[in-house]
Amino acid sequence: MPSEPSKDLIALDDPYPERDYEVRCTTPELTCVCPVTGQPDFATVEIAYIPDRQIVELKSLKLYLWSYRDEPVHHEAVTNRILDDLVASIAPKQATVETRWLVRGGITTVVTARHRAQAALD
């Protein structure tokens, strides 16, 4: 597997599809570029999900998050895009992506996006 940024999230078979359990991945290394100022933005991202039939391969997740490094994107957009891409890749029963952005102009921003599969709602 390459060690360069990639938008490809690799799905693996869930080793315990008969059980609901939570997977939580956290890193303080999410970076992107402010589309207004061109300055770098830094965040801690926490991804939590309950798998259905697949889980995300962790190195692909690391390379995926790295792919935002030079991308001009708003905090709200990157948070929701991470959730959308995770859901498209592994179709979890539930997922939450939370980004906690370092202070910019005296304001700390926290963005939380949630997904719940229709079957989990029934």
The 10s digit of each residue's pLDDT in 50-62 is 999 999 999 999 9
Say if residue 120's pLDDT is above 70: no
The pLDDT, as a whole number, for residue 122 is 54
* Mean of per-residue pLDDT scores for the chain: 94
The one catalytic residue among 25, 34, 52, 84: 34
Kindly state the percentage of the chain with pLDDT values over 90.
89
Pick from 92, 90, 84: nearest CA to 113: 84
Q: For 13-27, 28-42, 53-67, 106-120, which range has the lowest pLDDT when averaged over its residues?
A: 106-120
Rounded CA separation 65/45 (Å): 9
Length of the chain: 122
In the chain, where are the structural domains located? 20-121
Kindly state the percentage of the chain with pLDDT values over 70.
95
Q: Does domain 20-121 have CATH number 3.40.50.970?
A: no
The one catalytic residue among 14, 20, 25, 41: 41
- pLDDT-derived band at 3, boundaries 50, 70, 90: confident
Say if residue 25's pLDDT is above 60: yes
91's torsion region: left (phi>0), alpha (psi -120 to 50) or beta?
A: left
| Phi then psi dihedrals of residue 14, to 5 deg | -70, 120
- For the question of residue 41 being annotated catalytic, the response is yes
